[in-house]
Structure 1
Amino acid sequence: MYLKLTRRKFLDCPGTNSEDAGKSEACQGCPNQGICSTGIPVAPDSDMEAIRERMSTIKNKIIILSGKGGVGKSTVSTQLAFTLSRDKNIEVGLLDIDICGPSIPLTLGLQGEQVHCSGSGWQPVFVSENLCAMSIGFLLPRADEPVIWRGPKKNGLIRQFLREVEWGSLEYLLIDAPPGTSDEHLSIVQLLKEDLTGAVVVATPQSISLLDVRKEINFCKKVGLPLIGVVENMSGFVCQHCKKSSELFTSSEGGAERMASAMGCPFLGRISVDPRVGRCTDSGLSYVDAYEDQPVAVQFLSLAKSISFF
């Protein structure tokens, strides 16, 4: 009973900016009740103006999310960045905010690269003339160095990325987030606020994946983050020889498309399993450039087109 009451109070919290802060029934027993009830205004965030100025030269800021780990979110982020940057008139950036598990240096073929500082700030690492990236992986002494940080330190680094990195004028900044709905997600949403174009949520067909993806979609709705749509990764296996597709994972729920429809969220399409996607990602190569005539390349091109129309 206590657990149920505690959970209900947490969900009914009026928030620190509400007139009922510290005074409502939900506040009873909360350790922060005294602080909230004082009505002392929170000091303005001194970083916000600098962040707004940095982000003002970026047209579309898209965060790639998934409530579940292991669904290929970083692979989708990387290959989507490669695909968008095929148009040499479009400048694309990829920001890795998976602080404890950065994988973007590997997936873009940038392992061993370092961040350089100039008078205008941190310089992102370039893959090509119109594709660049930033990750904590560039700041670590070794690729296998663990990052053992609590939330405030993660938040501080994300602030630095947004405030200090000299992205220049970008058409797209893709933000690769870790699984879940925790520190990194709250930080990026709160710091960018209405500047975020929206979120792409990556799912796989299994029910266990869709369970967590629903939480991610509800997170977006609660924090006011627009949903660009859901993409179903690992959606069947495409034979390299006959190019026919067969299901690898089945779901009693009808997969990500039916889930997206039930939750009122756009469905952006499916990305099938092709082992060569994994090999390209491990080698920091663009799958679409290497296998342009393959069905999965067509799927990535379709996904990029869906996002460009948002």
Structure 2
Amino acid sequence: MLGNHSSATEFYLLGSPELHHTLFATFFLFYSVTVMGNMIIIVIVCVDKRLQSPMYFFCHLSVLEILITSVAVPLMLWGLLLPGMQAISLTACSAQLYLYLSLGTSEFILMGVMAVDHYVAVCNPLRYNIIMNSHTCIWVVIVSWVFGFLFQIWPVCATFQLTFCKLNVVDHFLCDRGQLFKLSCDDSRFTQFVLFLMAVFVIIGPLIPTIISYTYIISTILKIPSASGRRKAFSTCASHFTFVVIGYGTCLFLYVKPKQTQAAEYNRVVSLMVLVVTPFLNPFIFTLRNDKFIKAFRDVMKRCCQLFKG
């Protein structure tokens, strides 16, 4: 993947020069809650048969959240625990960037599919189990994972085919592509433009069916005569809609820009939103307003308590 075009054999991640211990404690808490919260979602969905409908099959989103945040946050925590520049090999840097982009691409596809899933649930409830059957869901999840990992092969290869002949210090806590372009002596304008088009395709592509689905969903909800019916229909989509707004909002600012070499401080702040803050909020977003999940969680806790007492 790397070829023989790079003069650098490793990079140094600069990260944050201040408040190491405070940032470590904060991000460790966020990361722990993210992993535990998403693990609870996965376990509850797998254990409780009431949640094993097509809509809850997309607990794969929780798997992706755990993997995405685990690609970079543990290394960032290690760097905060041991202040100073942290060395990362060229191979490890390329692997981190590839996994981060691939998992993110799969997540965007799954978000778009979930929007369509909610559209079918609200607008065609009688045909929901026929349209979103288990066979369809399995294929959708497989395609989202495979496409994400295949689609990002060329962007990562193109990035690491550049000649890194400048100071090999990455002003970031992970192998950020924009900062890698800054270290290159090659004319990378064409590559950056192609990567911009690919980022537009990855982010805007799933956003189109999401917008169309929610247009129909909102139109259908407004036609429901009773207030309780409208509230129930809206609660079905509220968590996913909130996730879409936060997820797309941060990633649009981070990736959909013609020039990849953005200000380092800007990239760090938005990356923290994507890798730390958003995954931390998602377990709460998806469970606190979900009555079925809360009931299933309570039932599982009761069974666990009974087992311990027995």
Q: What's the TM-score, normalizing by structure 1?
A: 0.23
The structure with the greater share of residues assigned to strand is 1
Scaled by the length of structure 2, what TM-score is found? 0.23
